[in-house]
Amino acid sequence: MARLRLALLLLALALAACSPSLNWREVRPSGGELKALLPCKPDQATRRQSLAGYDVDLAMLGCEAGGGLYAISVVELGAPQQAHPVQAQWQTNLLATMQAQGAQRQPFAIRGASAQPEALRLQAVGRNAEGRPLTVQAVWFTRGNRLYHAALYAEQLTPEMSEPFFGGLELP
């Protein structure tokens, strides 16, 4: 009987060790057409925020898994021309909050996004609230009056974290 219990305990431990920390699932942020993948069940919130002089409602989905914080946000703008200044202010706020020293920016390809402002991917290294190193990869893109933002924060980003997350963003 003791051997059976030991064997069952070892089997349970082995199965737990094999279970993935990133359990990807499709989500759709409210108020938008975006389909995305998150590795955990997200929490949702909405808050009023001022960006570039515009008061906007920021709808957010987010969760933590495998050492990363995954976040998707949607802002409904009054007009498409508000997207560029709101996006620029959002980037500035993100980098300031992290105390990031510089950032790498490059175009981000996502089918179905508006051409202006151009979809953008940003990567930066800074510090979290406790002063520990923090890396972020973030993207911004628009469709019509909606500005979308997806970000992944972790001490160390890996392709297993970032590729499904950013590759799973889709505007059908």
CA-CA distances (angstroms) from residue 28 to 14, 34, 125? Answer: 34, 6, 28
Is residue 31 scored above 70 in pLDDT? no
Question: 22-167, superfamily in CATH?
Answer: Mog1/PsbP, alpha/beta/alpha sandwich (3.40.1000.10)
Measured distance between the N- and C-terminal CA atoms of the chain, rounded to whole angstroms: 57
Collapsed DSSP state (helix, strand, coil) of residue 71: strand
Percentage of the chain lying above the pLDDT 70 cut: 87
What pLDDT does residue 8 have?
Answer: 27
Q: What pTM was computed for the model?
A: 0.86
Is residue 2 scored above 70 in pLDDT? no
Q: Can you tell me the mean pLDDT for 53-58?
A: 95
Q: If you average pLDDT over each of 3-7, 31-35, 130-134, which comes out highest?
A: 130-134
Dump the DSSP string for 104-168.
EEEE---TT--SSSPPEEEEEEEE-TTS-EEEEEEEEEEETTEEEEEEEEESS--HHHHHHHHHT
Q: Can you tell me the mean pLDDT for 82-102?
A: 95
